[in-house]
Amino acid sequence: MKIAICQINTITGNISHNSKVIRQFAAQAKEKGADIAVFPELAVPGGFAKDLYLRKDFLSACDGELEVIAKECPVPVVLGTVYEGENAVVYIKAGKITRFASKNNSFEGLRYFKNNDSHAFADGISACVYSGFEDLMKAAQKASNENVKYLIVTANDVFYMGRLEEIHNELKECASKQNINIVFVNMCGAQDGLVSYGRSIAVTEDGIIIAAAESFEESMTIADFSNHTPVDCEEVPYELQAYDALVSGLKDYALKNGFSRFVIGISGGVDSALVAVIAKDALGSENVTGIFMPSEYTSNQSKEDAELLCKMNGIRLLTVPINDLFDSFKGALSHIFVGKENDLTEENMQSRIRAVLLMAYSNKFNALLVNTGNKSESAAGYSTLYGDSAGGYAAISDLSKTFLYKICEYRNSLIDSIPKSVLEKEPTAELRPNQKDTDSLPPYEVLDGMIVKYFATFNPNAKSGMDISGDEKKIFRMIDRTEYKRQQAPMGTKISKKSFIRDLRIPVTNGYRG
């Protein structure tokens, strides 16, 4: 059997667009001689639609488009959609729609869908909606017991570093143990910071991968099960995985929300440098504007680094000094602040002035303001609320500072894009004389290790009696105290298995001090 694996990038809620893409891919599958075309989980409504799944008019529109798809698809189709209140797979053949399987939902899925873990068989194939390794094995076993030759696994599986290797190992183990051919068809593209990684594959009953789609790209791949020649499916370095996910997350958020250009505050530091390069790779250098906003504390080195970065990447750089604005703000408050020394107040004032300028540019030119804060800063609360924490999207908010440098080195290995001077200098916010990040924070390698350990404390299955030193507790309390900032931060791309915004739910008003 020749199966067309249709790895598509849907737009959540844009049902007519998704339907059009599905019909186009089905037509291409026919042209390529495929016997059947298979599509990802929830391909008709789009994934992660949240409470849209509760709206009757939305569900009715999905049903209507499903009828259109059934009439126009020239080949049999296995397709994910909402069907009779379930996150389901339907089988479409000769205009007839048959419910093929439904997902064994857990957690948030139970808010939206009925839980009917059903499986049907037809024309030598079965299907399931991916919901974890255990359920995958059960579905494969049911199909194998019925002497079904092919299991279609529809998915909208979310990326985190290492996930590509995990899912491939799961599928190979399942296929060989249950003696069944498996086609895994995964969504690609991003929705509100969740990146579906694609990387759809076909695995024979011997556990051999005979077809594999690229990561993060919309594509059609033909799996010909009459040919068991293995395909090259080597492991991808984490730096490459993460970088591609960061570009995909930012690009899809912009385009699916009507933005065609970016604006970024360029400081001369490593965070804004990486974000600028990601933005360039997402939409092209001609659609990225950097704004450099020096103050009396800004070094000449930062100015030179900002200019060199933008020159290396073909990015337009505007310079807007903030000294006069800063003096004006301080003057307006001088009669109130009589007798008070400069402190964090004046530092935050500079950051908020810069945010006003960036947002003004964003409004005037309909450019998405891309925030440049990283995961380490977010953990420590090392940002100014409504200042450098402002933005429409946070491109690197799930990227730790130590791994950030590795990402920069990877990107420079392709072509020099980030000045070496940016990578070599000590991080500083330049909000007061001779300021360094380490004045306020532990060394980043220490802080980043503590973030991993902090997340581990929320795992009820972790080893009991986890040793936490007094210094570590101080860092944990610092993370706890700044939850209020994280809950007001812009959404960003998830690339780690545990992110602050997506995977932790901590009360802001919190008296526990463990």
Contacts of 423 (CB under 8 A, 6+ apart): 270, 405, 408, 409
**What whole-number distance in Å separates Cα of residue 306 and Cα of residue 300?**
10
Q: How many CB atoms lie within 10 A of CB 490?
A: 18
CA 54 to mean position of chain CA atoms: 24
C-alpha distances out from residue 234 to 165, 199, 244, 274, Å: 9, 12, 16, 27
Q: Is 128 a catalytic residue?
A: yes
Pairing of strands 125-129, 150-155: parallel
**What whole-number distance in Å separates Cα of residue 319 and Cα of residue 44?**
46
Of 6, 41, 65, 205, the catalytic one is 41
**What whole-number distance in Å separates Cα of residue 255 and Cα of residue 373?**
22
Q: Is residue 14 classed exposed, middle or buried when 0-12, 13-18 and 19+ CB atoms within 10 A define those classes?
A: middle
Greatest Cα pair distance, the chain, in angstroms, is: 85
Say how many Å lie between the first and final Cα of the chain, rounded.
58
Q: Is 406 a catalytic residue?
A: no
Of 128, 174, 310, 408, the catalytic one is 128
Of 6, 62, 86, 103, the catalytic one is 103
Name the region of 198 (left: φ>0; alpha: ψ -120 to 50; beta: rest).
left
Which secondary structure element, helix H or strand E, spans residue 251, and what is its range?
helix 238-256
Q: Is 103 a catalytic residue?
A: yes
C-alpha distances out from residue 274 to 277, 278, 291, Å: 5, 6, 15
Contacts of 475 (CB under 8 A, 6+ apart): 442, 446, 447, 450, 454
The residues annotated as belonging to the active site are 41, 103, 128
